[in-house]
Amino acid sequence: MAPSDQPRYSLIPSFLYSPKTLLNNVSSHYSSSSSPPPFSGSEGRNSNNNFMIPAPKESIPLYSPAYYAACSFGGVFSCGLTHMTVTPLDLVKCNMQIDPVKYKNISSGFGVLMKEQGMRGFFRGWVPTLLGYSAQGACKFGFYEFFKKYYSDLAGPENAAKYKTFIFLAGSASAEVIADIALCPMEAVKVRVQTQPGFARGLSDGLPKFIKAEGAGGLYKGLVPLWGRQIPYTMMKFASFETVVEMLYKNVVPTPKDQCSKGLQLGVSFAAGYIAGVLCAIVSHPADNLVSFLNNAKGATVGDAVKKIGLVGLFTRGLPLRIVMIGTLTGAQWGLYDSFKVFVGLPTTGGGAPKAAK
C-alpha cells in the first residue's frame, strides 16, 4: 500500500488500547497482500512482554531509520515546548538556588521578579531553553528507542522479557549521555541569563558574552553535574512511568484499560507521568543545584558549591518548586510524545522490552 493510500489517523484513535480490534484490523490488511503480518498469536496480544501496541497499517517500519527519526522529532515536540512553557517557574527556581536570601520561597520569588523586571522578565532565557531542550528531547527519545531495541537484541528474547526494567534503565541512561552533550551549551547560557540581571537579554548577546568571558570550553563546564542531574532523572522517568501506569490500572482504576474512555486513558498517562516526574525531581535535585551554581559563578568548582550550599541545601533548596515543575513537565511530555507518535501512525510506548531478535 502506498503512503498516499494510508488512512488518516485521529490524534488518539479509539482502537489504541483494544487488542481485539487491533488484530482484526491488521489481519484484514495483510490478508489482501503477500506480506506476512508483523506479529501473530501471542505476539499480537497486549502482554507483559510487549512494550508497544502496534498501530494498524503503519507507514513507518518499526526500528527503521525513519522510525527513529520520527521518535526524535516527537522528542523535540515533547521536550522543547514543555520546557519553554514553564520558563517562569524555571527562572524562579534557578534564582532560589543561587540567592536564597533574596528569593526566600516561591511566592516571594515571583514577587521580586515582578517588581524588578516586570512581566517580560518571567520569560528571560526562553530561546536557549527552547533550543537546548529541543535538541535534548530529540536525542533523549530517539536514542532511547534505539538503545532499548539494541540492548533487547543483545539480551535475547527470554532475558529481554525477564529483565525489561534493566533494559529501560540502560537504554535511557545511554540516551541521556548523548542528549546532555547537546543540551549543555544552551543550559549554561540560560542559567547565566536568568540569574545575572544585566548580563544579557537572551541567547543572541548572551552566547558571545559567555564565550568571551570563559571560552568555548566554559559552555561544557557544567556537563558532569548535568549528567549527574539528568541521567538519574531520565532513568527514573522512563522506568517508573511504565511501572506506575501498570499499578494505576491494577489498583486505582476499576475498569480494565481496554474498556476505559480515551479521556480516562490520557488522564492515567498524565497522572503516571506526574508521579514519575516527582520521583525524577527528588533523585536529580542535588545535581540540579550544582549545575545552577557552577553556571552562575565564574571559575567555581563542585567543592565550592558543596561548601557554599551545604549537603542539606543540595537536597532541599528549591525542591518544592522543582517538584511542581518537573511533575507537570513529565506528565505533559509523555502525553505529547505518545500523541505525536500515534498521529504519524506509530505505536505508543507500553510496558515491556522490545521483542528481541533471535
CATH number, position 101: 1.50.40.10
**Are both 187 and 70 inside the same structural domain?**
yes
Residue 341, burial from CB neighbour count under 10 angstroms (0-12, 13-18, 19+) = buried
Q: Of the candidates 166, 188, 219, which is a domain's last residue?
A: 219
* Cβ-contact 119, 157 below 8 angstroms: no
Domain assignment present for 20: no
Q: Which residues of the chain have pLDDT under 50?
A: 1-58, 351
pLDDT given for residue 257 in this prediction: 67
Domain assignment present for 111: yes
DSSP state for residue 34 in the 8-state scheme = S
**Are both 75 and 189 inside the same structural domain?**
yes
Q: Of the candidates 184, 219, 254, which is a domain's last residue?
A: 219
**Are both 185 and 242 inside the same structural domain?**
no
**Are both 213 and 258 inside the same structural domain?**
no
Q: How far apart are CA 79 and CA 172, in angstroms?
A: 15
**Are both 256 and 189 inside the same structural domain?**
no
Domain assignment present for 286: yes
pLDDT given for residue 247 in this prediction: 82
- How many domains does the structure of the chain reveal? 2
Domain assignment present for 317: yes
pLDDT given for residue 154 in this prediction: 94
Domain assignment present for 46: no
**Are both 65 and 214 inside the same structural domain?**
yes
Q: How far apart are CA 130 and CA 80, in angstroms?
A: 5
Helices in the chain by DSSP H: which ranges?
19-31, 65-75, 81-85, 87-98, 106-117, 126-155, 157-162, 164-195, 203-214, 223-251, 262-296, 302-309, 311-316, 319-343
pTM of the model: 0.71
**Are both 204 and 277 inside the same structural domain?**
no
**Are both 206 and 160 inside the same structural domain?**
yes
Which range of residues forms the domain containing residue 330?
225-348
**Are both 196 and 268 inside the same structural domain?**
no
Domain assignment present for 130: yes
Domain assignment present for 32: no
**Are both 69 and 192 inside the same structural domain?**
yes
Domain assignment present for 22: no
**Are both 153 and 243 inside the same structural domain?**
no
**Are both 202 and 115 inside the same structural domain?**
yes
Q: Of the candidates 173, 199, 219, which is a domain's last residue?
A: 219
